[in-house]
Amino acid sequence: MSLLDIRNLSLSIHGKPILKDISVSIRQGEITALTGESGSGKSMTAFATIGLLPRGSVTTGEILFDGSNLLTRSESDLCDLRGRDISMVFQEPMTALNPVQTIGAQVMETILIHGAMTSSDAKARTRDVLDRVGLPPDRFPLTRYPHELSGGQRQRVVIAMAIALRPRLLIADEPTTALDVTTQAQILDLLKGLVSEQNMALMMITHDLAVVSDMADTLNVMRAGEIVEHGATFDVLRDMRHPYTRQLFDASRHQAKLSTAKAETPLLSVENVSRDYALPRTSLFGSRPMFRAVNRVSFDIKRGERVGLVGESGCGKSTLTRAILGLEPIQEGQITLDGDPVWQDGHPNLAVRRKMQVVFQDPYGSFNPRHRVSRLITEPFHLLTDPPKGADKDAAIADALTAVGLNPADADKHIHAFSGGQRQRIAIARALIIRPDLIVFDEAVSALDVRVRAQILDLMADLSRDYGLTYLFISHDLSVVRSITDRVLVMRAGEIVEDRPTPAVFEAPEHPYTRTLIDAAPQLPAFPETQDAARPAF
């Protein structure tokens, strides 16, 4: 018999349908994944199960836990159940902990709120679970505050809170999405270990099919509030009976077809560059201590070359990017584009800036919401001494929009009329419009769903062929870089540890850190690629 049996669950929030007739069942000791793109309703299924739906939610159907329907239980019954029988781990560890309480107090609260033990026993148990999740007492005493821990460590605390009373069902909502790939691997191992050790059921919400294939016994594929396919993970991924599953799978391992580059003349040159940040003063009158975010980094990019820059959060890649773009001065070394320095006499060099453009990560934050598309994408014209006017300007706008697969008529719309993927196309149009020598893609596909991501990567490959683009592609995700670059730089702790052609890096990584990154990334099983890969409308 199933531990959890969701039967014909439908949910609407303020009258808007979110879930339609969902049925999922999870057995003790089993990992069940819910997967799908953003907005598919997978997180809401989790919140419905633990009884923490937002205001204005109306549900029909049944959620049977141990045979009793949770949807009809009273709130105080649910409070008894939560934390003791059903627990949850959330996506964002940075904000999931109370900043003004120690980690010990927060883990212990799970135990004490249910009156499960005396407080001295609870303290001992707290210590045990923190040890179990990999936070040993010498480095992580109970008196630590959340702000003293890294994201991965905080996620371990959240997991400790969730498992302190050995619940029978654990719900994990994208538990590793906010974490680096090496940390992700550790957290996934931890969760797997806990499931087999405690014979727990785990409901795993994730958008990442590679994680699913790595972890889950059974799989439910969700789209727009419905479950389109379910079954044993291996079977579902092998058969892919539903076209949506196939689209997701193909898009997840999609490789854009990059034309061969003719790279000879040097364009960007980064020589011995260091960037220091002042930290807050530690003593009243002493000088402020410095943190070296980028340490004597050197590399260059030739005209027509497509280079990837990969590293985990805090490795200094964003700092280096800002320095290359001339947004911040550097403390040591020299950055030149076509022989001219990007930063000169304490000011960014405008002559160089007009040869560079950037595409940012967040398709929702990178446009002024008050302006129309035509104004947004022509902003770089500001850099030109003689920007096109009138009909020339309109033609440039139409060209740029057409190049990225949009309609010239879109120029008059406001940005909120577009989806995330379309916005990223607009961002690329903005970067293209002055025909820069170098484009920097700063995590430009990281916030996108897989199918949209595959389309944007294809677009980049097409543009690269048609316009002979030179770009620097910055990403925390090694696998994305593989199909879209000629050469990869791997960055760690402010330094570049590997700088070699892309195929060589993936086939025979030299630096142990690169190897760790490659090994830590979850892999999709190898099934043959289908023809209609990544070509759905968005």
Partner 1 sequence: MNRNLIIGGALTALFVCAALVSFLWTPDSVETMNIANRLKPPSADNLLGTDHFGRDILSMLMVGARTSIAVALVAVGIGMGLGVPLGLAAAARSGGMLDEVIMRMNDLIFAFPSLVIAILITAVFGPSATNAIIAIGIFNIPVFARITRGAALSLWKREFIMAAQVAGKTRTRISAEHILPNVANLLIVQGTIQFSLGILAEAGLSYVGLGAQPPIPSWGRMLADAQTMVSLAPHVALIPGLTIIAMVLGLNLLGDGLRDALDPRLKVVRA
Partner 2 sequence: MLHYALKRLVSLAISLLVASLVIFVVVEVAPGDPASFMLGINAQPDTVAALRTELGLDQSKFDRYRSWVGGMLTGDFGTSYTYRTPVSQMIADRLWVSLPLALYALTLSTLIAFPAGIFAAARRGGIGDLGVTGATQLGVAIPNFWFAMMLVLIFAINLRWFSAGGFPGWDRGVWTGMKALTLPAIALALPQAAILTRVMRSSLLDILGEDFIRTARAKGLSSRQALWRHGLRNALIPVLTIIGLQFAFLLAGAIIIEQVFFLPGLGRLIFQAITQRDLIVVESVVMLLVFAVIVVNFVVDLAYAAVDPRLRART
Q: Which residues contribute to the site for partner 1 (CB under 8 A)?
A: 325, 327, 348, 350, 353-354, 356-358, 360-362, 365-370, 379-380, 382-383, 427, 430
Binding-residue pattern over the window 213 to 242 for partner 2, x denoting contact by CB under 8 A: ------------------------------
CB of 489 to partner 1, least distance (A): 21
By the rule CB under 8 A, 96 interacts with partner 2: yes
Buried b (16+ CB within 10 A) or exposed e, 19-34: beebebbbeeebbbbb
Compute the half-sphere exposure of residue 142: CA atoms within 13 Å on the CB side of its CA: 15
| 281 neighbors 233 (Cβ within 8 angstroms) | no
Look at strands 340-341 and 332-337 and give their pairing.
antiparallel
Site for partner 2, residues 150 to 179, rule: CB under 8 A: 158, 161-162
CB of 512 to partner 1, least distance (A): 34
Q: How far is CA 498 from CA 108, 479, 489, 492, 522, in A?
A: 44, 16, 6, 9, 21
By the rule CB under 8 A, 82 interacts with partner 2: yes
| Cα separation, 411 vs 376, whole angstroms | 9
Give the residue with the Cβ less far from partner 1, 181 or 427: 427
3-class SS letters over 297-336: EEEEEECCCEEEEECCCCCCHHHHHHHHCCCCCCCEEEEE
Binds partner 2 by CB under 8 A, chosen from 25, 45, 87, 218: 87
Give the residue with the Cβ less far from partner 2, 82 or 253: 82
Give the residue with the Cβ less far from partner 2, 262 or 281: 281
Region from 95-103, 187-195, 201-209, 471-479 binding partner 2, contact rule CB under 8 A: 95-103
Give the residue with the Cβ less far from partner 1, 220 or 349: 349
**Residue 241: φ, ψ to 5°:** -70, -35
Q: Report H helices in 10-167.
A: 42-50, 75-81, 103-113, 119-132, 151-163
Q: Give burial (CB, 10 Å; 0-12/13-18/19+) of 409.
A: exposed
| Cα separation, 280 vs 13, whole angstroms | 45
CA angle 6, 177, 227 (to 5 degrees): 30
**Matching residue, tokens 């543009």:** 463
Binding-residue pattern over the window 36 to 75 for partner 2, x denoting contact by CB under 8 A: --------------x-x----------------------x
Binds partner 2 by CB under 8 A, chosen from 8, 68, 101, 523: 101
CB of 16 to partner 2, least distance (A): 19
| Cα separation, 122 vs 111, whole angstroms | 6
| Cα separation, 144 vs 357, whole angstroms | 43
| Residue 282 site contact among partner 1, partner 2, none (CB < 5 to 8 Å, cut-off depends on kind) | partner 2
Residue type, 432: L
Give the residue with the Cβ less far from partner 2, 43 or 233: 43
Q: How far is CA 390 from CA 35, 385, 394, 408, 411, in A?
A: 49, 16, 6, 15, 14
Site for partner 2, residues 289 to 348, rule: CB under 8 A: none
Binds partner 2 by CB under 8 A, chosen from 67, 99, 339, 346: 99
| Residue 148 site contact among partner 1, partner 2, none (CB < 5 to 8 Å, cut-off depends on kind) | partner 2
Give the residue with the Cβ less far from partner 2, 38 or 101: 101
| Cα separation, 215 vs 167, whole angstroms | 19
Binds partner 2 by CB under 8 A, chosen from 2, 27, 66, 109: 109
| Cα separation, 160 vs 148, whole angstroms | 17
| 123 neighbors 108 (Cβ within 8 angstroms) | yes
| Residue 379 site contact among partner 2, partner 1, none (CB < 5 to 8 Å, cut-off depends on kind) | partner 1
| Residue 451 site contact among partner 1, partner 2, none (CB < 5 to 8 Å, cut-off depends on kind) | none
Give the residue with the Cβ less far from partner 2, 74 or 368: 74
| Residue 281 site contact among partner 2, partner 1, none (CB < 5 to 8 Å, cut-off depends on kind) | partner 2
CB of 396 to partner 2, least distance (A): 44
Q: Give burial (CB, 10 Å; 0-12/13-18/19+) of 44.
A: buried
| Residue 66 site contact among partner 1, partner 2, none (CB < 5 to 8 Å, cut-off depends on kind) | none
Helix (H, G, I), strand (E, B) or coil at 479: helix
CB of 159 to partner 2, least distance (A): 11
| Residue 110 site contact among partner 2, partner 1, none (CB < 5 to 8 Å, cut-off depends on kind) | partner 2
| Residue 96 site contact among partner 2, partner 1, none (CB < 5 to 8 Å, cut-off depends on kind) | partner 2
> What residues are paired with 292 via a beta bridge?
276
| Cα separation, 401 vs 410, whole angstroms | 8
State how far Cα 375 lies from the chain centre. Answer: 29
| Cα separation, 503 vs 307, whole angstroms | 12
Give the residue with the Cβ less far from partner 1, 430 or 487: 430
Give the residue with the Cβ less far from partner 1, 67 or 286: 286
Give the residue with the Cβ less far from partner 2, 10 or 102: 102
CB of 471 to partner 1, least distance (A): 14
CB of 191 to partner 2, least distance (A): 16
Return residues touching partner 2 (CB under 8 A). Answer: 50, 52, 75-76, 79-84, 87-88, 90, 92, 95-101, 109-110, 113-114, 145, 147-148, 158, 161-162, 280-284
